[in-house]
Structure 1
Amino acid sequence: MFEIDSNSIWPTGYLINPMPEPIADRYLQDFEGVPSSIVSDCLGRNVGALGVKPYHGFKHMCGTAVTVRVRPGDNLMLLKALEMARPNDVLVVDGGGDTSRAIVGGIMRAMAMKTGVAGMVINGAIRDREDWAQGGLPVYALACVHRGPSTDATGEINVPVACAGLVVNPGDLIIGDADGVVAVCPSNLDRLLVQCRHLLDRERTIMAQIADGSLPKARFDALLRSKGCPI
């Protein structure tokens, strides 16, 4: 008879998977500073977290997704994930969208900065806003509230999560800036980089044309005619 080793069975509600392969340094360098809006445009303008706001200022964020799913208002598994985190990781936390209790604050910010974590994205709330406002560590969250978390609930680390409408898998490239946060599958990075560079070049050309007055004034007429508008 087949027997299951009881030592290999996780307690119900808990799961800690191995750490994902980190995004190669060359990609982190290539995508550093690339706006989230450019990435979003290249991904069809329909991908990205909704409702999360930067609480750290405007520092760009770029790193490897380490995902966490916690019970709303509890951060036990987030504390464990932070213990596991490596330099250039981004902790992406599904806190169920709950904003009644913060699941990360100033002490965890200090721990993350000591580790070299690249940032945090919280589908929930943070606290100790003045600490985050000093900058240094990017953080995106739905809200800020003074009420703190419990540390006694179940959760999962390095599983697919939904974070403020954004699907994130462990090992995805996470990019964030003042506009928002997007996630990219590693297998798409080479193609996406080419598209981003092309779009950035195109936007630089348009801005230069605006500045020198050479932007065609009737540049949308052909598009309007193709839609039946009598221009």
Structure 2
Amino acid sequence: MQLDSSSFSSIAADRRRALDLLLERHSPWPLEEPAPSAQELDLVFEAALRAPDHGQLQPWRFVVIRGDARVALGNVFAQAARLRDPLDDGERFRGKAMAAPVLIAICARVTAPHKVPESEQVLAVGAAAMNMLNALHLLGYGGFWATGANSHDRHVQQALGLLPADRLLGFLYVGTPKEATRAPDRHAPPSFVREWTGEQVARDIADADAAR
């Protein structure tokens, strides 16, 4: 089916509106109910699986914690804190498990040794997490990616049922922003972007060849 010019214009406008929405994405805090429905979470995970995946290794693993399971996770966080430091009562970590209606543990199941470097496998999971944050934003929810001591704690990883080789890359806190917030001011792209033309390299190679 061929599209006429008005249909192309409509599609282009829809895509620009979607991009404008993405440019408003930020990490609101705190988060509360309502949380995404099961169907909406399915869409979020579908977006995650669209991330680049060199070697088709599918290194991403996700663990969803919600409802009363957050209380159990809070106990795990508190115990892990006490194991790290006997003088820490762990209570401040217990509260982290209740800071949003849904938590999603972001995990990388690294295949090693493999021709695809471990760093690329971990980056694929990071890309999946960013897709999830973008999807949550487009659905009208907030997402906050947190790391910290619990992300590197073997006790927490074991409690979540991760394998020894798995890497816990943090938790996505998911819910509805408690109050309206705006994205923080960002620097303009030129602050971080430059174009490489290769001209200087070409001159250097020519000079080196001439000096032989």
Larger radius of gyration: 2
Higher strand share: 1
Shorter-normalised TM range: under 0.3
TM-score (ref. length: structure 1): 0.23
- TM-score scaled to structure 2, two decimals? 0.24
